[in-house]
Amino acid sequence: MKARFLSIVLAVSICTAMICGCGSAAGSAPKATAAETAPTIGTAETEEAAPAEGTGKTAEAAPSESAAAAETAQAETDALESGDTESMEDRADNVADLIDAIYVQEWTPETEEQCRAAKEAWDALSDEEKELVEGEYADPDYFGRDTGDASKDDPLNQDGIGENEILVVSFGTSFNDSRRATIGGIERALAEAFPDWSVRRAFTAQIIINHILARDNEKIDNVEQALKRAKENGVKNLLIQPTHLMHGAEYDELTAAIEAHSGDFEKVMISEPLLGEASDDASMINADKKAVAEAVTSEAVSLAGYESLDAAAKDGTAFVFIGHGTSHKASVAYDQMNSQMKELKYDNVFIGTVEGEPEDTECSEVADTVEEKGYKKVIMRPLMVVAGDHANNDMAGDDDDSWKTRFTDTGYFDSLDFQIAGLGEIADIQKIYVSHAKKAIGDAGIKTEAKEGGSAAALSDGTYEAVFKTDSSMFHVNEAYDDKGTLTVKDGKMTIHISLASKNIVELCPGLASDAEKSSETLKPTNDTVTYPDGTTEDVNGFDVPVPYLDKEFDLALLGKKGKWYDHKVKVSM
């Protein structure tokens, strides 16, 4: 410490002498603090000793450079006197070390405190210091990247579960908006479809759990914690619904973890992952793979603004769906998805993977294939449940090894577009998970009030024919329509249009008659013209009725011509 102090004093002396010799131009420069400048010792000596170019003589330091050296030396002196010897780099490195310490796949009793300490240290940094954070895994984006409002997400870690639980297990993502739309979307669809089961969440990636806890103070259970919670809450029937794509390494590890706790519950069921049953045959396709292929392609085509996949092909556009990839034998599922696309005659749809496993899904292989087919426009979308780091960085990022960069570097394609959206936010994908859960519960012989397709979350936006039944012979759909109406699904809401038998019912109101008498938002009729089988026509009242759920009765009050409201039960079914 004494030697370091002497060096600083010497530097200050030299700089002072230089400033005196060169004038006082820097004499009024403000002093730098230790937090604003790195500790640079001997800068003035190095510059002073450097030979002047072409003369062999020693060059004098420029006044501004001398001033900077003086400020640096003075900052070191001030730091020593105050006892603060940490530099900007030191503080940034400390945060990087704290991040690296929680970037691990194992939970310990110290994990939560480590997460808190890392965030507090990050918050204490200046903006300039935050840019210097760099470690084995740490970078400024760990805390600094805005991925949405975590407070809008439900971690589903509540107690009071009851006897029946569906534990939705995901790898996880720290991208808040995507987590809420994808994993959250699947969880909500399951909760709506199984009203007599409690839905809870677990992630298998402790690294992600720690990231969310440290940055957003949102606590998500890992699998062990979720199983312990279920046991302590007296759960008897436990269904594990993985959101994994296939029977890969993650699925195998999950199965082993669940089997170790099978004795804690009366019945434990593990449902199928998204693509369904496994097979070693690359040409093997099944109903689940077909449904996934149709759902993601339809969503991508619609979002791209094309009327159909054929219209996109005629416009020279190809769609590339990018999965994670794996060295596990389950990688054959990607080739099976390619087979499924061919079976559906989706000739301008291609499957790739971030990891390039299997080999034909590697980026350059896919780029060459798309080029050989003559498509000049490419739209990329993740074939992953969430749209997290892989979608934002490995697919659409600007790094040298991203798919965006590598496709651009070919110089062949006229345009590249990206759809940053996970499979989990597609309603038809959510419906597949619901059907898997229903089958697993049914195979276990457990009776449930499952409502397959019981909500808008289980249906894609569009129009459907649906049955509208009531508890009254006087209140019903016109006989010309055989008890059916047109169900419209849009933005997670359902409405059915029904044409009645006459104009005797003049208003409707969701809820009870007592509610209708106080409501200013009753349903007003439309004028519908009905054509009967014999060719005659009649004008009747029609109504657009909000539908809270399918296959389950709800209250709908009606107002007759005499001005009195009546209670009725109605049910809408597909």
Catalytic residues: 324
CA separation for the pair 446, 327 (Å, rounded): 37
Total Cβ atoms within 10 A of residue 129: 21
Do β-strands 565-566 and 554-560 pair in parallel, antiparallel, or remain unpaired? antiparallel
HSE, CB side, 13 Å, CA atoms: give it for residue 292: 30
CA separation for the pair 498, 500 (Å, rounded): 6
Cis peptide before 358 (omega within 30 of 0): yes
3 state DSSP class of 519? coil
Q: Name the residue among 429, 450, 430 with its Cα closest to residue 439.
A: 450
Q: Name the residue among 440, 431, 457, 370 with its Cα closest to residue 406.
A: 370
CA 393, 396, 398: angle at the middle one, nearest 5? 70
Question: What are 392's two structure tokens?
Answer: 């934002």
Q: Name the residue among 147, 12, 30, 23 with its Cα closest to residue 69.
A: 12
- Write b or e for each residue in 397-429: b if 16 or more Cβ atoms lie within 10 A of its Cβ, otherwise e: beeeebbbeebeeeeebeebebbbbbbbbbbbb
Question: What are 474's two structure tokens?
Answer: 């006087």
CA separation for the pair 266, 236 (Å, rounded): 5
Q: Name the residue among 491, 395, 424 with its Cα closest to residue 180.
A: 424
What are the Cα distances from residue 219, in Å, to 107, 137, 208, 316? 13, 21, 11, 46
Please state whether 56 falls in left (phi above 0), alpha (psi between -120 and 50) or beta: left
Residues in contact with 65: Cβ distance below 8 Å, sequence separation at least 6, in sequence order: 43, 44, 47
Cis peptide before 51 (omega within 30 of 0): no
